[in-house]
Amino acid sequence: MSWKVDVDGDTCIGSGMCAALKPEVFVLEGATATVVTGEVEPDETVLDAADSCPAMAIEVTEKGEVIGPRP
C-alpha cells in the first residue's frame, strides 16, 4: 500500500516547512514546493507536513481517498 502526495503549486506560499519536515518527499524549488516522489510508503510525518502546511497546499490520498491534511 502506498500514499499519493500532491502539492498545489498555485496555493503553496513557499514556507519550506514541508521540506524541512520531510526532505525525502518535499523539495523547495524557488518559491514553490514540489514532491520528490508522488508515491510514498505510509508515514506519519507526511501527514504531519500536510497538517502543518500554512497554505493547506498538500494533499495526501490513499486509494483515492483524502487522508491528509487531517480535519
Q: Residue 9: helix, strand or coil by DSSP?
A: coil
Question: If you ran DSSP here, which 8-state letter would residue 48 be given?
Answer: H
Question: Which of 15, 27, 43, 59 is close enough to bind ligand SF4 by CB under 6 A?
Answer: 15
Q: Does 57 bind ligand SF4 (CB under 6 A)?
A: yes
Question: Which of 5, 17, 25, 46 is close enough to bind ligand SF4 by CB under 6 A?
Answer: 17
Is 55 or 67 the residue whose CB approaches ligand SF4 more closely?
A: 55
Q: Specify which residues 28 forms β-bridges with.
A: 33
Q: Does 40 bind ligand SF4 (CB under 6 A)?
A: no
42: number of Cβ within 10 Å? 12
